[in-house]
Amino acid sequence: MKGRLCTWGSMTALMGAFCVAPCFAQTLTWLGTLDYRSSIATDVSDDGSVVVGIAYTPNYDFRAFYWRNGRMEPIAPPRWLGWSQAYGVSGDGNVVVGNMMDSVGYMVAFKWTPSAGVEFLGALGGVGGTALAASYDGSTIVGWAEARNEDRLAFRWRQGQGMQALGAPATSVATGVSADGSVVIGYVNPPGVLLAFRWTEAEGVRMLTGFGGSNIAAQAITPDGSVIVGYADYPDHTRHACRWLDPSQPPQDIHTFSDSPQSIANAVSDDGNLIVGQYYPSGGSFWRAFRWTPQRGMEDLNTVYADLLTSGSVLFQALAMSPDGRFIVGSGINGLTGRREAFLLDTRVPCRAHSGDVDENGCVDDADLLAVLFAFGQTGQDLGRVDVNCDETVDDADLLTVLFAFGQGC
């Protein structure tokens, strides 16, 4: 994470004090390609310190990567000659999951940790499989695995218990899991269609409804398992990003770009109110990354963060996001290298010291005073405007600023 040290001028004539505070600007980091042809980032840890994904060689082979503290490394040891892909990372950043070629040439589901290395998860009577997502601590992993008859079946793997088929019809894939591992989402794939589902141990597989078209896919789930996002087709074959607030009800269509027929939601924040994904502009030649909120609808990330993009750079896909919505990862064109590369976008808004109007309503009043009092003693980098002087602590200095300005603008 990049940052800069900001020194703010006198906050009020009465206080006559200066505030020196860390002030982290929004940043876009291109992660590199392992010196290969291209890369995509598929997932990010909750604190944004770990990113995983896939790098592609000039010969179109692929290697799973693990990026941490500015360094990208292949998941498998250098002696490993097989292909590999990383699709998910646990919330704590310690467990990476995906698929990897085993010693006899099958692509099989794996988990990897920096300390223990690669562990293959097995299958459901067959040989192949892919792990796509992990719970917060990595003790639960979901994906698909081959059955004895070579059908692909959605699975949940748990530490100490092994792999369990979810009971979804063949062919099925589990795409996401709640933080505690109790709720799983995915889709079944009868010939020609996708049908989304939600699974719990108590209820089993419950199919989700869409917009009347042939395809419905569940792509991501909130940590508490309450909100699901993905996409659904209309009968006219347009595909719209959507979210399910209640799995028993039709989804909410969140597609608000009138000049685009297609969009896909790939990730959702912990409160369900920030969604990222990709949309295809009418007449365009590439997908473009978007974010959505109830207040603003869909916004092109290339427009929102245009000041972070060098000439020729484009963000194609937003594939994953930290639960608080701060960190977004995906792929795009790095204008400086001309390559398709994985990116990490830190959307944090820099702290701005102010004179006591915490709620920004133009009046320093009881509401501002109470906001500081209720947050009194809290520390950290993401306190918001209750940290009036941006010193990462809500304390006497913040309270005095509000008191000295009390009544201004009212």
Q: Are residues 254 and 365 in the same domain?
A: no
Lowest mean pLDDT among 10-24, 82-96, 288-302, 320-334: 10-24
- Please confirm whether the linkage preceding 171 is cis (ω < 30° from 0): yes
Q: Are residues 254 and 133 in the same domain?
A: yes
What's residue 16's pLDDT?
28
229-245: per-residue pLDDT in tens?
Answer: 999 999 999 999 999 99
What's residue 80's pLDDT?
63
Whole-number Å distance between alpha carbons of 160 and 148: 23
104-142: per-residue pLDDT in tens?
Answer: 889 999 999 999 999 999 999 999 999 999 999 999 999
Q: Are residues 162 and 185 in the same domain?
A: yes
Average of per-residue pLDDT across 87-96? 98
| CATH number of the CATH domain containing 199 | 2.120.10.30
What's residue 7's pLDDT?
26
Task: Look up the pTM and report it.
Answer: 0.83
What's the pLDDT band for 13 if we cut at 50, 70, 90? very low
62 falls within a domain: yes
Q: Are residues 335 and 356 in the same domain?
A: no
Residue 374 belongs to domain spanning = 352-404
119 falls within a domain: yes
What's the pLDDT band for 61 if we cut at 50, 70, 90? confident
Q: Are residues 359 and 327 in the same domain?
A: no
346-360: per-residue pLDDT in tens?
Answer: 998 777 899 999 988
266, pLDDT greater than 50: yes
- The proportion of the chain whose per-residue pLDDT surpasses 70, expressed as a percent, equals 93
78, pLDDT greater than 70: no
Q: Are residues 146 and 282 in the same domain?
A: yes
Q: Are residues 51 and 191 in the same domain?
A: yes
Q: Residue 355, Cβ neighbours under 10 Å: how many? A: 15
- 3-state SS, the chain, equals CCCEEEEECCCCCCCCCCEEEEECCCEEEECCCCCCCEEEEEEECCCCCEEEEEEECCCCCEEEEEEECCEEEECCCCCCCCCEEEEEECCCCCCEEEEEECCCCCEEEEEEECCCEEEECCCEEEEEEEEEEECCCCCEEEEEEEECCCCEEEEEEECCCEEEECCCCCCEEEEEECCCCCEEEEEECCCCCEEEEEEECCCEEEECCCCCCCEEEEEEECCCCCCEEEEEECCCCCEEEEEECCCCCCCEECCCCCCCCEEEEEEECCCCCCEEEEEECCCCCCCEEEEEECCCEEEEHHHHCHHHCCCCCEEEEEEEECCCCCEEEEEEEECCCCEEEEEEEECCCCCCCCCCCCCCCCCCCHHHHHHHHHCCCCECCCCHHHCCCCCCECCHHHHHHHHHCCCCCC
What's residue 4's pLDDT?
26
Q: Are residues 332 and 396 in the same domain?
A: no
Which residue, of 321, 346, 371, is where some domain finishes?
A: 346
What's residue 14's pLDDT?
27
What's residue 81's pLDDT?
61
Q: Which range in 103-112, 313-322, 383-392 is most confidently predicted, on average pLDDT?
A: 313-322
13 falls within a domain: no
Whole-number Å distance between alpha carbons of 48 and 345: 9
What's residue 101's pLDDT?
92
Q: Are residues 233 and 357 in the same domain?
A: no
Q: What is the mean pLDDT of the chain?
A: 90
What's residue 352's pLDDT?
82
What's residue 25's pLDDT?
67
9 falls within a domain: no
391 falls within a domain: yes
* Block residue for tokens 């698929």: 99
What's residue 77's pLDDT?
66
What's residue 12's pLDDT?
26
229-237, long-range: CB within 8 Å, 24+ apart, which pairs? 229/265, 229/266, 229/267, 229/268, 229/275, 229/277, 230/185, 230/196, 230/264, 230/265, 231/263, 231/264, 231/265, 232/196, 235/211, 237/213
Q: Are residues 173 and 259 in the same domain?
A: yes
What's residue 192's pLDDT?
85
Tally of domains in the chain: 2
Average of per-residue pLDDT across 196-200? 98
| CATH number of the CATH domain containing 396 | 1.10.1330.10
Q: Residue 107, Cβ neighbours under 10 Å: how many? A: 18
Q: Are residues 376 and 337 in the same domain?
A: no
Q: Are residues 362 and 246 in the same domain?
A: no
Average of per-residue pLDDT across 60-77? 90
